Copies of this chain bind each other. A is one copy, B any other.
Amino acid sequence: MSDPELLLGQARRRGLRITEQRAIILRALCELDGHASVERVHSRVAREHPGVARSTVYRTLEKLRDLRILSQTDLGRGCDEYEVVTHLPHHHLVCQGCGRVADLDHAYFAFVGDAVCRDFGFKVVLDHLAIFGLCRECQESRGRSG
């Protein structure tokens, strides 16, 4: 789990005004430890601080994303999810069977980015990609039952 106080310091140094709500929201995200939707962050926050508006959660996560303290990804669940940026770039394997999300090192994609740049002059932004499929367990259970 990332240290929220450290991240708040970073945010302040990058010019973000640190309000009590923003601190609460970032701490909640850190506690959730991993990807979390606005909804999930908001309900976590609400447990201790019911006064914090959902729109504030939206605005805060967006600001922190702009500062590159958080990353935002569509994991195919109908809403975007946020995560504290650690080592970048890294990607995600999303299992369409069980919904689990695994990390995938950038090395797997570096080749693609280079090739596309070389062949088309297209500069790929491969910060944070989600790719979908079936994990080993779900393949096995489908082989039997599905």
Q: Which of A5-13, A27-35, A50-58, A107-115 contacts B (4 or more CB under 8 A)?
A: A107-115
Pick from B112, B121, B125: contact of A109, CB under 8 Å = B112
Interface size class of A (residues with CB under 8 A): 20 to 34
One complex includes copies of this chain to the number of 2
Q: Which of A17-25, A38-46, A62-70, A126-134 contacts B (4 or more CB under 8 A)?
A: A126-134
Report if A131-B124 is in contact (Cβ < 8 Å); known contacts: A108-B116, A111-B111, A112-B108: yes
Contact, CB under 8 Å: A93 / B108: no
Contact, CB under 8 Å: B96 / A125: yes
Pick from B102, B122, B132: contact of A134, CB under 8 Å = B122
**What residues of B have a CB within 8 angstroms of the CB of A139 in the complex?**
121, 123
